[in-house]
Chains A and B, each alone.
Chain A
């Protein structure tokens, strides 16, 4: 027999004390969703089951005890830190879920400039760590758009990536050691070593688990020397995305790693760069690092770009102003909310990745299909922002007017059909349907297609670590 709400709340209070348990209805409603459902939320419509409580863990032991309780009593746990998720990962998919929130565990435990490592609790805001590091001349190198609001636990749980990834890598390249708690209460600690070959790299069970296997309580990341004085920003306009992809590929293939390598199509570009790029694609690079390397990288990029006469260099002052305001803080979020309510126009994103030989085809097919098949679109475009030696990502941006439909129907009428097109075309072409936002709850219908025969490995992890199925039901693994 499952526990009642009151019994769940009681049991939680027993573990962490009443001060750490929140049951105010407004807060519970707000905690039943994340950015995926913001249209219905803005209209005061809450379609997801109300959680029983939010628990603010004070320490790893709290996390362990709460998970053990949930495991014994079959309570769905939604792990959370910064509440900036975009794919439904934080939605409460069953009645009486408990949000296990790590944002109170926000201590920066140690900064080690000699070993170039920093250790933080899961609730440390990335911005706070980054600000502290910069004071002493270092950086995390991690700069997702959610930086002002996101916290370390969630950033690791979703395999996040930032604007400077082409040089520094994604979070998986930055993580050294971890501490995570599993559903049975087991507290596991992975030590900080530069590398080891002592069996498979078990960190990857934790990194990207989206709260479906464990709760991350502590993270150690590499830190890097911060040398912004050596940064060289380069910007160009060009006619075709295909040319842009060619240039990105060549820069990577020749062995260069600019920190920023972004290619915007005219639609997505118009939104940001209309004051200097009229119906053109925009290519932006930043060369970063030690002086000689930054200079060599910039020089190489200029040479590669020069081979394509359609590329016209842009005064970097245009790009700098844009770049300085790229991240999303609380003010931007609040402004967006008001605009959405007034104009009934809302935008979302779908990020995918593929090898070089498929990326342009995926781009063109998806844009074409969306324009033809989805009604009321006001903007559809995309940009590539994370490149690798063997391919790149595509960040589709899609805005539409919500016409003749109730707030809770917006997802069915517009967002799911959009994702369906992009996901299916990408998987068909052999690419990946999720580049860095995570599967959440809304790309689960395609998870088996995404993995093919390797789904066996993913599936078995769930059976092994969460046999009772209490961790974030509906996330990554389909079915609730």
Chain B
């Protein structure tokens, strides 16, 4: 099968994109001449880094002005005819999630978004992904090529960490390529990097039970004292108590810490999928029946403020010894 991996080199999360694709592709496939990584980028200075992190031997670097879906789609469509692929693999970030589906449509293939795993099987591929708000896992079969898949958020792992020595690099400059005409003006506000939360070893997650923006700010101070990264469940972000980029869960960040302290979170599947990779989950909640309790290793049933204050005091005391 000819695979094409498509990555967005204009995004600050490029290394995450690479590691998630690596975890997905096995090593042999990555080495095959059959597999190519297409990297759209805008900053030439980043070329070496992009190439070094790419998950396959064959790399096609394409220069564009900035990421816009319509731009990438028109270039990918153009590249398909002379060099058709059986499977397009996109990471699970925002760009990947939209490109996979739209590309399949243009190439008359089939698509599936937020895929957790896949297997090839003669004339079809079998994929799994979360359905029913994350309560269940669904198994799907796709049979129309090219298959265009975007991965689930937060796939990571050590299945493919080998350094790729020799690269075959192709370069294209498509800065003049299709500029979406419908956009009359465009500005970007760069957000605080997500890396801190995505890569943190100790995560504190605040849920709806913290009750107010003031309490979120206080929680922020606690997290700092604990040297932990702070994230929130969807209701907290949606209430405007915390910035959207702190959202942990299926529609936000998937964390992968050693320790996660889930504070006043009820624990819906959509949220739990954002912390389930934690090695240790501790829940603090006043409700012994909250779903999070059964999905945690340890739980304290009490008001979080008092528990957290004492915990912070104890941890700081030992740190300062």
Contacts and interface: CB of A to CB of B under 8 A. Distances in A.
A and B touch in the complex (CB under 8 A): yes
Interface of A: 148, 329-331, 334-335, 337-338, 341-342
Given A331-B266, A335-B235, A338-B239, A148 B287 contact: yes
B286 interface: yes
Given A330-B209, A331-B266, A338 B286 contact: no
A337 B210 CA distance: 12
By Cβ-Cβ distance, the 3 closest A-B pairs, closest first, are A334-B208, A331-B266, A338-B239
Nearest to A338: B239
B289 A329 contact: yes
A331 B287 contact: yes
Contact of A337 (B211, B238, B289): B211
Contacts of A329: 287, 289
Contacts, number: 25
A338 B289 contact: no
Contacts of B290: 331
Nearest to A331: B266
Interface residues of B, number: 11
A330 B235 contact: no
A331 B289 CA distance: 11
Nearest to B267: A331
Contacts of A342: 239
A335 B208 contact: yes
Nearest to B239: A338
Interface of B: 208-209, 211, 235, 238-239, 266, 286-287, 289-290
B239 A331 contact: no
Contacts of A334: 208-209, 211, 235
A3 B40 CA distance: 74
A331 B209 CA distance: 7
A48 B278 CA distance: 45
A415 to B, nearest CB: 23
A150 to B, nearest CB: 14
Contacts of B239: 338, 341-342
A334 B234 CA distance: 13
Nearest to A148: B287
A342 B240 CA distance: 10
B315 to A, nearest CB: 23
A197 to B, nearest CB: 43
A480 to B, nearest CB: 30
B244 to A, nearest CB: 15
A148 B290 CA distance: 11
25 contacts: A148-B287, A148-B289, A329-B287, A329-B289, A330-B209, A330-B286, A330-B287, A331-B208, A331-B209, A331-B266, A331-B287, A331-B290, A334-B208, A334-B209, A334-B211, A334-B235, A335-B208, A335-B235, A337-B211, A338-B208, A338-B235, A338-B238, A338-B239, A341-B239, A342-B239
A148 B286 CA distance: 10
Nearest to A30: B211
Contacts of A331: 208-209, 266, 287, 290
B307 to A, nearest CB: 15
A106 B289 CA distance: 19
Given A331-B287, A335-B208, 5 more contacts: A148-B289, A334-B208, A334-B209, A335-B235, A338-B208
A337 B235 CA distance: 11
Q: Which has the most chain B C-beta neighbours within 10 Å: A329, A331, A335?
A: A331
Nearest to A341: B239
Contacts of A330: 209, 286-287
B277 to A, nearest CB: 24
Contacts of A148: 287, 289
A109 B239 CA distance: 42
B93 to A, nearest CB: 28
A331 B211 CA distance: 10
Contacts of B286: 330
A63 B66 CA distance: 70
A82 to B, nearest CB: 12
